[in-house]
Amino acid sequence: MHNPRLRNTTFQSHLLAASLRLCDATGLYPTCLTLRGLECESDPVTAGQFGEIRRGHVRGHMVCVKVVKLYQRSQIEHTIKKLLREGIVWSLLSHPCLLPFYGVCRLNDQIGRVCLISPWMDRGNISEYLKANPHTTRIPLIYDIVRGLIYLHELKIVHGDLKGSNIMITSAGSACLADFGLSSVVDADILQWTSLDTGTQAGGTVRWMAPEVLGDESGVMTRPTTASDVYALACVMYEVLTDKIPFHECPSYITVMFKVVSRQRLSKPPAGVFITLELTDEMWDLMHLCWALNPDDRPTAEGVLETFQDIPLNPLSKRRIQIKDKTKERRMELFSFASFRDTTSRGENLSIDTDDLLLLRTLLGTSHGRHLL
């Protein structure tokens, strides 16, 4: 699809909102979101309170299977609708710095649990990758994260759960944002939508959460916003540039929550301690700006990138970012929803080059002339 209108983020945002409204009004969802032929391993690779991750295969291609934990049959239909709404949002996104979505599937177990399918990332998340590759240049990874966040915010979408474990590393060593379980379409004039909560009432993980999301002294919490995403972005930068999680000195969840709610910021490391990891004074000043207590005082993701580009970088990081800038419009390393589905339905081998997501094809319910609703 080469229609220039589809590359306009305002048009895409309205398109996304319209698709969700259409699904709500009719009770129908694109059946193209349902992925068939999944072979899923029985043992999870990792598990948490709300779900587990398993390996799977679709026509010989390894995929990541995110299984939502359900304990009652009465939860199933409600959860399916939630996941399909999440799938619609995720499937309409296409950017080199976002993990693609491949579909929704139900497991063949007693209650037919629901799962989300995405590419399997051999290099793991950014925290695992940096632990295994400590001498990797850090700034180009942060650059990828900022670019992905700018794309989401241009579409009026809040990620809502930015942290190291939700940022995956591709085979080429680039970073891409994952886990849109808390993503929201936040333009109130178009639509407001929040998917399955994972964690607190407001979602997210406390160490990375902005104070206004956790609540003020009266206990009033707000929904995640683009400004709270920017706060979390700076926490991820701290994580990447120090190899430590935010408030690492506080093992207690309650202590961390108290510090965040009482508006305490992360402490600046001693001068020069993390200079080899590219944590310079200029980078710390940018992070500090993103942690402004008043959300209106924080820069936008686009503003972060503009400031970022003025910060002196080491030659290797600068060169890698220049290469990313030259290639970002021409190639996507991972496969979009549309290209993966088209390729696996034909049984072909996956190729590297992909087009942008075929937004209208998915929304309007036709694919090569086949009705999808």
Q: Are 345 and 182 in contact (CB under 8 A)?
A: no
User: CA-to-CA distance for 12 and 235, rounded, in angstroms?
Assistant: 29
Per-residue confidence band for 47, with pLDDT thresholds at 50, 70 and 90: confident
- In degrees and rounded to multiples of 5, residue 194 shows phi and psi of -135, 135
pLDDT in tens, 353-371: 333 333 333 333 333 333 3
Same fold, 4-120+334-364 and 126-327: no
SS3 annotation, 85-142: HHHHHHHCCCCCCECCCCEEEECCCCCCCEEEEEECCCCCEHHHHHHHCCCCCCHHHH
User: CA-to-CA distance for 250 and 236, rounded, in angstroms?
Assistant: 17
Q: Which residue has the higher pLDDT, 367 or 79?
A: 79
Structure tokens at 170: 């591709």
Burial of 95 (0-12, 13-18, 19+ CB in 10 A): buried
pLDDT at residue 191 is higher than 50: no
- In degrees and rounded to multiples of 5, residue 32 shows phi and psi of -65, -15
Q: Tell me the sheet residues that pair with 68.
A: 51
What secondary structure letter does DSSP report for 194?
A: E
Handedness of CA 158, 159, 160, 162 (dihedral sign): negative
Overall size of the chain counted in residues: 373
Chain CA centroid to CA 244, Å: 21
What is the pLDDT averaged over residues 236-244? Answer: 94
Per-residue confidence band for 125, with pLDDT thresholds at 50, 70 and 90: very high
User: CA-to-CA distance for 181 and 165, rounded, in angstroms?
Assistant: 13
Q: Which residue has the higher pLDDT, 313 or 12?
A: 313
CB atoms within 10 A of CB 174: 21
Per-residue confidence band for 222, with pLDDT thresholds at 50, 70 and 90: confident
Residues 126-327, CATH architecture: Orthogonal Bundle (1.10)
Least confident of 106-120, 221-235, 284-298, 299-313: 106-120
User: CA-to-CA distance for 265 and 41, rounded, in angstroms?
Assistant: 42
User: CA-to-CA distance for 201 and 203, rounded, in angstroms?
Assistant: 5
Q: Are 113 and 67 in contact (CB under 8 A)?
A: yes
Chain CA centroid to CA 326, Å: 23
Which three-class secondary structure state does DSSP give residue 20? helix
Pairing outcome for strands 184-185 and 370-371: unpaired
Which three-class secondary structure state does DSSP give residue 82? helix
Q: Which residue has the higher pLDDT, 193 or 338?
A: 338
Domain boundaries, the chain: 4-120+334-364, 126-327
Cα angle for residues 75, 78, 79 (degrees, 5° grid): 75
CB atoms within 10 A of CB 307: 16
Task: Please give the mean pLDDT across all residues of the chain.
Answer: 76
pLDDT at residue 298 is higher than 90: yes
pLDDT at residue 95 is higher than 70: yes
Q: Does domain 4-120+334-364 have CATH number 3.30.200.20?
A: yes
Which among 52-61, 78-87, 362-371 has the top mean pLDDT?
Answer: 52-61
pLDDT for res 187: 43
